Structure 1
Amino acid sequence: MSVVELGRFMDDLADASGKAILPFFRAQFGLDDKARGGAPFDPVTEADRAAEVVLRAMIGQTFPGHGILGEEFGAERLDAECVWVLDPIDGTRAFIAGLPTWGTLVGLTRNGVPVRGLMHQPYLGERFTGDGRHARLRGPAGERTLRTRRCAELGQAILATTDPRLFASGDEAERFRTLEGQVRLSRYGADCYAYCMLAAGQIDLVVEAGLKPYDIVALIPIVEGAGGRVTAWDGGSAAKGGRIVAAGDPRLHEAALKVLNP
């Protein structure tokens, strides 16, 4: 499959998953807690499951030799050269609250390296894509190239994280609080949308912990395609999740690493 054909296929994935999800948004639907009443609350909806079923079926039919890792239905053929990494609704808490800061994440890895990424927000009609070299946004205002913002200093940066309770109590939480105390502004609750706003030059820094591969793989080629950097806190690969730092400016990324990994 050519690059153009792959892009069209990912558009088809976005269209199909959006059709599966939107009837549930701001509507009544079934909701389960994967934590089974424990803490923290870990919701999954009918929309999550419906979208992943559609994505898996389309990938399996088009690329029967590829692997798949999805949040709701687990792993298939992870030893394959190419593996699709799926989060049908990243930001399920926002989804069930009727807030539009969620999205469908579709990532593709080759030999463990993220090479293509899609974040689709069907309610807003926005589609963010990247291949690590280029990144684009298609939305109601048209299509444009994404570029991160130049911001070298923590004191001028806008920081986002999904929830400060992501960070384990003790040293991990203290490092985040230290970093947050040095930035200009911090915002909570955007999930995958924060990384896309970083790629669009609206946010400078995203710091999180406890992520799974399906939370981040699709976002790496988008951020890096827009000129940013995404790594683990120790500077290594972010593809397996864990503690993540993404920055629009490499200089800001280095400054954040010095605080998070002294």
Structure 2
Amino acid sequence: MTSRSITDLQLAHLLADAARETILPYFRRSGQGLENKDLEGFDPVTAADRAAERAMRDLLRQHRPEDGIWGEEFGRIDGTSGRQWVLDPIDGTRAFISGTPTWGVLIALAADDGPPVLGLIDQPYTGERFTGGPDIAEMTGPLGRRPLATKPGRTLDQAILFTTFPEVGSPAERAGFDAVAQQVRLTRYGMDCYAYALLAAGHIDLVIEAGLNAYDIQAPIAVIEAAGGVVTDWQGRPAHGGGRVLAAANAGLHALALAILKQTPEDW
């Protein structure tokens, strides 16, 4: 197939298929090639992360050689088309090395430095895939093909809130998160990108995080917005560049949580 013989959506699925095939042989097995990228902390990377990103980059060079690529493991290369594929081969490497199935492959397509127009969250082990973009908001998996739709409006005291790390970020960011958490019915931790997929599928109401990179959030933004949700930073601005992120099932809940988070100092 030539570079333009498949659509962007078809290509996104090819990328996810390639990553899934590459990653699964490493999951819950020894010999993951674990390394630490942070000498002052713990930022794990495995052979599966790198192999999956290489596989996706190879497909992009074949089918969209004019597009840019921004991946977690091998950085950013500019294209000539004004478009960019944003890749996180394993979002949730800590979960991956722990054997929990809450990590995922993130794939997004955006205008250079702009918001995503297409996104895909794939969980290879469970076989679930969440896709959002123009005229598509759906999940596929063991239960078949289903439309994605976020929850309708509800008050904070009925909401379910997720984040990945209990510490969230800086002390001020943790305080901002806690202020929202004190208002909701249930708070849960540790789901990485799978929390955003659950929000898009209508199971939870809020995800609040800090310290994200663009490749952590661009695919979830596209999926959640296609499903009817809202994603911004903690000041209500676009979040596709990363940083502090508030994802909500609907505009009403977003406004309630945002009013609390806006009080968090921006210089932390």
Which TM-score tier does this pair reach, normalised by the shorter chain?
Answer: over 0.9
The alignment status of 1:65 with 2:28, answered yes or no, reads no
The alignment status of 1:33 with 2:36, answered yes or no, reads yes
Number of residue-to-residue matches in the alignment = 259
Aligned partners of 1:223 and 1:242: how far apart in 2?
17
Whether contact under 8 Å (1:133, 1:226) holds in the other structure is: no
**What amino acid is aligned across from residue 52 of structure 2 in structure 1?**
A
Whether contact under 8 Å (1:69, 1:78) holds in the other structure is: no
Aligned partners of 1:5 and 1:72: how far apart in 2?
26
Give the structure-2-normalised TM-score.
Answer: 0.93
Q: What SS does structure 1 have at the residue aligned with 2:187?
A: strand
Whether contact under 8 Å (1:89, 1:102) holds in the other structure is: yes
The alignment status of 1:194 with 2:195, answered yes or no, reads yes
Segments of structure 1 that go 5 or more residues without pairing to the other structure are none
**What amino acid is aligned across from residue 84 of structure 1 in structure 2?**
W
Segments of structure 2 that go 5 or more residues without pairing to the other structure are 264-268
**What amino acid is aligned across from residue 105 of structure 2 in structure 1?**
T
Aligned partners of 1:244 and 1:132: how far apart in 2?
22
**What amino acid is aligned across from residue 190 of structure 2 in structure 1?**
G
The alignment status of 1:156 with 2:158, answered yes or no, reads yes
Q: 1:248 to 1:132 in 2, by over 3 A?
A: farther
CA drift of 1:66 comes to 0.5
CA drift of 1:2 comes to 8.1
Tell me which moved more, 109-118 or 4-13.
4-13
The alignment status of 1:45 with 2:46, answered yes or no, reads yes
Aligned partners of 1:126 and 1:59: how far apart in 2?
23
Aligned counterpart, 1:17: 19
Whether contact under 8 Å (1:84, 1:108) holds in the other structure is: yes
Tell me which moved more, 57-66 or 250-259.
57-66
**What amino acid is aligned across from residue 208 of structure 1 in structure 2?**
E
CA drift of 1:151 comes to 3.3
Whether contact under 8 Å (1:148, 1:249) holds in the other structure is: yes
Q: What SS does structure 2 have at the residue aligned with 1:201?
A: coil
Whether contact under 8 Å (2:4, 2:63) holds in the other structure is: no
Q: What SS does structure 1 have at the residue aligned with 2:197?
A: helix
- Output one character per residue of 1:166-186: Cα deviation in whole Å (capped at 9) or x when no partner: 3201x2221111111111000
Q: 1:30 to 1:260 in 2, by over 3 A?
A: same
Aligned counterpart, 1:168: 170
**What amino acid is aligned across from residue 46 of structure 1 in structure 2?**
A
CA drift of 1:249 comes to 1.4
Aligned counterpart, 2:266: none
Aligned counterpart, 1:226: 227
Whether contact under 8 Å (1:150, 1:248) holds in the other structure is: yes
The alignment status of 1:125 with 2:112, answered yes or no, reads no
Whether contact under 8 Å (1:17, 1:51) holds in the other structure is: yes
Q: 1:81 to 1:189 in 2, by over 3 A?
A: same
Whether contact under 8 Å (1:91, 1:192) holds in the other structure is: yes
Give the structure-1-normalised TM-score.
Answer: 0.95
**What amino acid is aligned across from residue 35 of structure 1 in structure 2?**
D
Whether contact under 8 Å (2:4, 2:64) holds in the other structure is: no
What's the C-alpha RMSD, in Å, of the aligned pairs? 1.6
Q: 1:193 to 1:42 in 2, by over 3 A?
A: same
Whether contact under 8 Å (2:92, 2:193) holds in the other structure is: yes
